[in-house]
């Protein structure tokens, strides 16, 4: 029986895709992602069953994963900005978009975080630990912000996020 993917599986796959040559234990990865080792292990198993991860090498299969990010995640893990809150900027409000877009007049999308410095519309992150996981990891923050642009963005933001994710995943695969 194939287990359905869970939102935090995307978080684990993004982390695995950028650290192909730096193997770590489930416990080490779990600590970085602010989740339990069993959650990481289960995510890896689901990613293998979904054929997004090579079962022998544990390498992310770049093309299928990219296709899932662009064509699956916005529907499977759909979200809409909600109430006003304080948090960490995501999607087009995140630093990864600063070279591509000028600031918009609307409230920025944010992951709710009591330590956040930006007031904006709450966007449910893929997993509850995202604000903790990105606190010391700007690259992971960028990747998750790009994924959020796919989840909540308009055509322009989705196009930018698609191009940037494709470029980054290719770069990780060739490293």
pLDDT of residue 127: 95
* pTM assigned to the model: 0.93
pLDDT of residue 20: 61
Q: Transcribe the chain into DSSP letters.
A: -PPPP-HHHHHHHHHHHH-TTS---HHHHHHHHTS-HHHHHHHHHHHHHTTSB-TTT--B-HHHHHHHHHHTHHHHT-----SEEEEEE-GGGSGGGTTT-PPPSSPPEEEE-TT--EEEEE---SSTTHHHHHTT-HHHHHHHHHHHHHHH--HHHHHHHHHHHHHHHHHHHH-
pLDDT along the chain (175 residues), means of 10: 87 88 80 93 96 92 96 95 96 89 80 94 95 92 97 94 96 82
pLDDT of residue 134: 93
């Amino acid at each position: 029986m194939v287990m359905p993917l869970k939102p935090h599986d995307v978080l684990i796959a993004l982390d695995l895709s950028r650290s192909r040559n730096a193997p770590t234990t489930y416990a080490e990865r779990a600590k970085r992602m602010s989740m339990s080792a069993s959650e990481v292990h289960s995510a890896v198993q689901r990613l293998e069953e979904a054929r997004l991860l090579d079962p022998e090498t544990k390498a992310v299969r770049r093309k299928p994963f990219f296709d899932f990010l662009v064509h699956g995640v916005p529907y499977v893990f759909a979200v809409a900005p909600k109430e006003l809150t304080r948090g960490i900027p995501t999607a087009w409000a995140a630093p990864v978009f600063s070279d591509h877009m000028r600031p918009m007049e609307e409230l920025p999308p944010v992951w709710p975080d009591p330590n956040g410095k930006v007031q904006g519309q709450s966007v449910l992150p893929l997993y509850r630990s995202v604000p903790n996981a990105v606190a010391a990891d700007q690259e992971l923050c960028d990747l998750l912000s790009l994924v959020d642009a796919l989840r909540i963005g308009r055509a322009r933001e989705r196009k930018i996020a698609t191009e940037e994710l494709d470029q980054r995943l290719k770069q990780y695969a060739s490293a």
